[in-house]
A = this chain, B = another copy of it.
Amino acid sequence: MQQELEKINQQLIRSQYKMTHQREATIRILLENEEDHLSAEKVYMLVKEKNENIGLATVYRTLELLCDLHIVEKMNFGDGVSRYDLRSDEHEHMHHHMICQICLEVKEIKDDWLKEIELRVQKEYGFKVSDHRLDFMGVYNNCNGKDCKKEDKLLA
């Protein structure tokens, strides 16, 4: 995790950006919550919880910057806020997601199952795919919907 942080820092510097406390704090939060899909507001709260000084506008600006550098992916699950997800190390494709309609939990599938289908898109539609997004809506077999009520998730 320290070395991933370092890697991203280097990437910023290489691209002529300055490394500030706020940017580092933001990246650290993203790394610590790699499995989640944080909203800007949530990142802001988590940074402040650590007694680091930061403004919400800076969080937005940093996230946009990381997006431009393809370090994070901005996504939208339709609940009115944008969420940000670290791309995996190889910076290859976005993850696939499973969104449980009972508990609203979003889990990731890190395999890339679409290679074949992308070839088909290329062949049948003349469309060269450079990235994709695949979300499944459904229900976990073992979702009890008790310890993970919708309202809680929406507030989270």
Contact = CB atoms under 8 A, between A and B. Distances in A.
Interface of A is mostly: strand
Given A74-B78, A75-B78, A109-B121, A127 B132 contact: no
Interface residues of A, number: 33
Interface in A116-156: 117-118, 120-121, 125-142
Contacts of A121: 98, 109, 136, 138
A104 to B, nearest CB: 14
A120 B113 contact: yes
Interface in A68-88: 74-76, 78, 82
Interface of A: 74-76, 78, 82, 98, 100-101, 107, 109, 113, 117-118, 120-121, 125-142
